[in-house]
Chain A
Amino acid sequence: MRAAGTTGRLARKGARYLLLTGAAIIVAFPIYITIVNALLTPQQIAARPPTLFPLHPLWGSFSQAFGQAHLGIYLRNSAIMTVAITAAQLLTSVMAGYAFAFVRFPFRRAVFILCLATMMVPAEATIVPNRQTIVSFGWFNTFAALIVPFVASGIGTFLFRQAFLGVPRELRDAATLDGYGHLRFLVRIVLPLNRPMLAAFGIYSFLGAWNQYLWPLIVTDTTSTRTVQIGLKQLSALNVDQSNVIFAGTLLAALPIFVLLFAFQKQLVRGLTAGALKG
């Protein structure tokens, strides 16, 4: 009896590992084969049966993608845009969130509801007039076009307000009596107490900006301002005889976020689930 039970348990455990491994192979396969193909020659990629393991990896495709296919420039452009948007969203959301939580001003509630309402307007619904605005500002093909429309965030404002409301009111009173105005209270007390929120929203904002596709597509059309996501579309149009470069470029484009994923796993999870948990 006992032996049978142990065998049964072992078999169940084995089955679980088998299931997990199968699922992992399916999920990871597209990325795995992208890595493999980036290390093969175009001829090897096209050959059948396919090569599933690169015995003689070739690394030239990466420098080709980086240089000839302009991935280097596109990555730089994406980095500039993303860092600027993230920093700006953090700044404006913290400022507005603080005002809604701690500063008394007339129509505060109405203004706050106005900020909340922006969450209900998808960016996709305003691209037509927004592009006209950008063109009329003379911003077509500039970083301003990529960055300025996104320097504020409704959800960021909301999340920071909620987080700041968790700071005890008496801390504000104590700081006021200690001689600290709003700015110093914000910098010395409120922000240090809300570091997890800063990290979570920072990553949320970073991911959103980095992954943008539609907007950069319609406000830029030159190499000097094109972001890496749009660059990938250009890349995919390359000829079959450069397919290894396509795969290498795709990896290069995904690399920054992979690094982020491994470095800030906990904050990333919090950032991604922030919307779900806000209720």
Chain B
Amino acid sequence: MPDRRRRTVLGRRASRRALREAATGYLLVLPALATFAVFVFYPLGRAIWLGLYRTSVSPNLPSTYVGPSQYASVVSSSAFLGSLWRTILFAVFTMPAGIALGIALAMLAHQRLRGIQVFRTVFSSTVATSTAVASVIFFTLLDPQIGLLSYWLGKKGGAGILSDPTFALPAVSVVSIWQNIGFTFILMSAALQAIPDTLLDAARLDGASSWHRFRSVTLPLLSPTVFFAIVVGIIGSFQAFGQIDILTQGGPNNHTMVLIYYIYQSAFVNNDYGLAAVASVVLFAILLVVTLVQFRFVERRVFYAT
């Protein structure tokens, strides 16, 4: 009898310890978890739910339940498809060029030359410019009246490059490339520095030309970083908002109306929450796929490395 009583006392004492440990754990994750619950998981669910309701034309009338049909109608609408297409175009304009320039600058600065640190600092300097800073600088430089770039490009006067349907999206892309060049440069430089010199020396002894060395040694070893830059670039393209808002507001005539700006306009200019919710959910789905592809890749890379 006393033995059994003692055992339960001991059990209680041990489980009290485990309980305290568990309480500590939950207390520590609580702030993060609560924030995620309110500002990530709940709104994600609510966005999906909002997409089932059509916002009424009059702000005083309640929205009506239309079910998944709103998803079908929005996704097949030309406005939505157009914004998706322009987002893809924007990614195509910015990513390959941005990454190639980043690699080129990193290669250029990856030499033992006097004063190379100055060049490195200059090349990485654009990380200090936010989207807004970069956009305002170029907004002024592209101004048809006073803009220096407009002047040099022979576009003085008239409507200006940002108002030209052909050049607006390319111009926004150039601004984005410039703003991101510092980051890409830093990324590629770090990757280049991680390549052992002995590998390139070996290739040199094998008589490989410098282009050949780049193609067959450097580039393959950079490929994980390039892959990462592509993923970040795709995600960044779908999130590019500030440059559009400052430079073109989606114009001229919707020629820079990318998906995120379409969501913004639908929700906060046209007050069509149902439509914006649907587009948000699609944006989430696209980026989810991109991220999952990246995770799978990273997992494999880790697997091979060990």
A and B touch in the complex (CB under 8 A): yes
Residues of A within 8 A of B (CB): 13, 16-17, 19-20, 23-24, 27-28, 30-31, 33-34, 37, 42, 45-46, 48, 50, 91-93, 95-96, 98-100, 103-106, 108, 111, 114-115, 118-122, 124-133, 148-154, 157, 182, 207, 210-211, 213-214, 217-218, 228-230, 232-233, 235-236, 240, 243, 246-247, 249-250, 253-254, 257-258, 260-261, 265, 268-269, 272-273, 275-279
Interchain CB contact under 8 A, A120 and B32: no
- Give Cα A213 to B146, complex, Å: 26
- Give Cα A177 to B40, complex, Å: 40
B28 at the interface (CB under 8 A from A): yes
Chain A contact residues: helix, strand, loop or mixed: helix
Closest to B140 in A: A246
Given A30-B137, A126-B44, A236-B139, answer yes or no on A105-B21 (Cβ-Cβ < 8 Å).
yes
Tell me the smallest distance from the CB of B225 to a CB of chain A, in Å.
Answer: 6
Interchain CB contact under 8 A, A28 and B122: yes
Closest to A106 in B: B22
Interchain CB contact under 8 A, B122 and A24: yes
Given A20-B109, A233-B246, answer yes or no on A210-B130 (Cβ-Cβ < 8 Å).
yes
Chain B contact-residue range equals 35 or more
Chain B contact residues: helix, strand, loop or mixed: helix
Binds A, one of B60-68, B69-77, B283-291: B283-291
Give every chain A residue within 8 A of B36 (Cβ-Cβ): 114-115, 118, 152, 154
Interchain CB contact under 8 A, B22 and A104: yes
Given A253-B132, A273-B186, answer yes or no on A24-B113 (Cβ-Cβ < 8 Å).
no
B145 at the interface (CB under 8 A from A): yes
- In the complex, besides A115-B32, A149-B39, 19 extra interface pairs with C-beta distance below 8 angstroms are A24-B119, A24-B122, A27-B105, A95-B28, A96-B28, A105-B25, A120-B287, A121-B40, A122-B283, A125-B287, A128-B276, A128-B277, A129-B46, A129-B277, A154-B36, A213-B131, A235-B136, A261-B128, A276-B187
Closest to A227 in B: B132
Give every chain A residue within 8 A of B29 (Cβ-Cβ): 95-96, 99-100, 111, 115
B92 at the interface (CB under 8 A from A): no
